[in-house]
Amino acid sequence: MSDSTLLAREIARRKTFAIISHPDAGKTTLTEKLLLYGGAIQMAGAVKAKKARAHAVSDWMEMERERGISIVSSVLQFPYKGRQLNLVDCPGHADFSEDTYRALMATDAAIMLLDSAKGVEMQTKKLFRVCKLRQMPIFTFVNKMDRPGRDPFELIGEVEEVLGIGVYPVTWPIHASGKFRGVYHRELKQVFLFELVAHGAEIAPMEATTLDAPHLLEALGEEAVKQLRDDVELLEAAGDALDRDRLARGEVTPMFFGSALTNFGLPQFLDAFIELMPLPAPRNSDKGLIEPTDERFTAFVFKIQANMDRQHRDRLAFLRVCSGRYERGMKVRHVRTGREVRLTNPVQFMAQERTVVDDGYAGDIIGMFDPGLYLIGDTICTGSPVAYEPLPQFPPEHFARMAILDPMKRKQLKKGLEQLGQEGSIQLFRPPEGREGEAIVGTVGELQFDVVKARLAAEYGVDVRVERLSFSFARWVEGDTLPLAELENQLYGYGALDIRDNPVVLFKGDWQLESCVKAFPKTRFLELGNSI
């Protein structure tokens, strides 16, 4: 097989995706069941407990803590029917939106998970918007069909209306005597009836039959079969077929019904998902679009995570491989610094552990041990340097200083804050040259302060008090330089440097920005260039 055929084949095997949903729709349950059906775990739901969300940085950390599954990273990789599935964690809490948005930038498709009783919820809408901007393929799974929910036709209408995307139901729910029994698959023209297993902890036995099989009447009763046939007739009357090009552009979403808890409808969803998921789209760089099958290796950093292993204090940069093939030990260019680095020990994240990989292809997510080189958005590549488009950033809306309780721990505080800033979990504004003082922490959501406080204590042994500051927005400075260190004395705002040493001014309100603009007419004050 030629190198390029092999490359194309390997890329086609990889399915890199995220699940977008509103909290409580069942993302953790679904994730666990994907692992179960992929054969990565034998038993789901080992430990159960109610959640304490406030301090969990990742949904999978919650899962690890509460369900007894060891999840070591923000990426889960598992096999499914000869494919390699890479599921990127996409926290659903409103306050972690930056992390979430970046995760979506690293994926090729999203599963939109809806609670059948609640339909399209607020957080789903927000995340959907990002997928839509990227024209990403979206697969919809309507969950909790085992509970009383909304009428499926009504849900289709809501998705179409509220989200502005076409819906093509691939499976259809079957209820009999008030119980969810399985799904009808429109493409296969088959009925799948499921049996309950205790807590849905194992693969649920199912049986396939056809709409007109006499056995179906026995199994479901006349009324349920009539209802199903009527529903199917109504669906078929629309006379459309799933348009794969529109799916690839995110204009139509295939919809599936099921229950992540009982596993009903799950294998039909998974099979269709891997079959229908389009190949990764080319990605935009400063040198134009790059196809995944481009022979050059290119990848970008979408997440940095420190202290995943408390014992080793390590720091991992997560990279999405966008084109070509990589090999362990290969030399690549770190484009921002121009430095040459070696892919010494790229790791991947199988369900239960990290493994060092020898080689891989576009579509993969790899982790690199990071000595402090990588920042979010950095590109590495072989051949002539290319840089991928910067990842979206969010303007910070909340500002605070971390007041240290034990002054002897100043060094640890500095280190901890720098780390969190490099991870992109907070934005850090350092005092400029000629000015003393602690760095200011900026966040998009208030909850992030709790996370910072908890992580500083747990990982750096520093207890802090969060002192909120009255700044309400930041502007990045372009054009003529400003006397950053002196601005505050003149009440023009607080001058600082961001993590890349770019000058920034924090303002308390529009009035302050306006007087600063008047005082320094040759300077421009910009919101984040690529903000969403």
Tell me which H or E stretch contains 223.
helix 222-237
Q: Is 25 one of the binding residues for ligand G4P (CB under 6 A)? A: yes
How far apart are alpha carbons 360 and 366 in whole angstroms? 9
How far apart are alpha carbons 288 and 279 in whole angstroms? 19
Q: Is 498 one of the binding residues for ligand G4P (CB under 6 A)? A: no
21 is known to lie in a ligand binding site: yes
Sign of the torsion angle spanned by Cα atoms 66, 72, 75, 78: negative
Comparing CB distances to ligand G4P, the nearer of 259 and 419 is: 259
Residue 148 C-beta: closest distance to ligand G4P, Å: 10
Q: Is 33 one of the binding residues for ligand G4P (CB under 6 A)? A: no
How far apart are alpha carbons 482 and 506 in whole angstroms? 13
How far apart are alpha carbons 113 and 32 in whole angstroms? 14
Q: Is 99 one of the binding residues for ligand G4P (CB under 6 A)? A: no
22 is known to lie in a ligand binding site: yes
Among 112, 235, 255, 261, binds ligand G4P (CB under 6 A): 261
How far apart are alpha carbons 239 and 235 in whole angstroms? 8
* C-alpha dist (Å) from residue 45 to 42, 80, 83, 186, 260: 10, 20, 24, 31, 12
Among 57, 76, 136, 260, binds ligand G4P (CB under 6 A): 260
382 is known to lie in a ligand binding site: no
**Distant-in-sequence, close-in-space partners of 181: CB < 8 Å, separation ≥ 6:** 174, 175, 193, 194, 219, 220, 224, 264
The site string for ligand G4P over 47-86 (x = CB under 6 A, - otherwise) reads -x----------x---------------------------
Among 10, 20, 21, 398, binds ligand G4P (CB under 6 A): 21
Three-state SS string over 130-157 comes to HHHHCCCCEEEEEECCCCCCCCHHHHHH
Stretch that binds ligand G4P, among 257-265, 273-281, 283-291, 359-367 (CB under 6 A): 257-265
48 is known to lie in a ligand binding site: no
Stretch that binds ligand G4P, among 24-32, 162-170, 386-394, 405-413 (CB under 6 A): 24-32
Residue pair 401/440 in contact by the 8 Å Cβ criterion: yes
238 is known to lie in a ligand binding site: no
Q: Is 143 one of the binding residues for ligand G4P (CB under 6 A)? A: yes
Q: Is 27 one of the binding residues for ligand G4P (CB under 6 A)? A: yes
Among 147, 199, 226, 244, binds ligand G4P (CB under 6 A): 147
Length of the chain: 532
Closest by CA to 179, choosing from 269, 264, 260, 120, is: 264
Among 99, 146, 294, 378, binds ligand G4P (CB under 6 A): 146
Q: Is 270 one of the binding residues for ligand G4P (CB under 6 A)? A: no
**Distant-in-sequence, close-in-space partners of 275: CB < 8 Å, separation ≥ 6:** none
Q: Is 259 one of the binding residues for ligand G4P (CB under 6 A)? A: yes
Q: What residues are designated binding site?
A: 21-28, 143-146
Residues that bind ligand G4P (CB under 6 A): 21, 23-29, 48, 59, 143-144, 146-147, 259-261
Binding residues for GTP: 21-28, 143-146
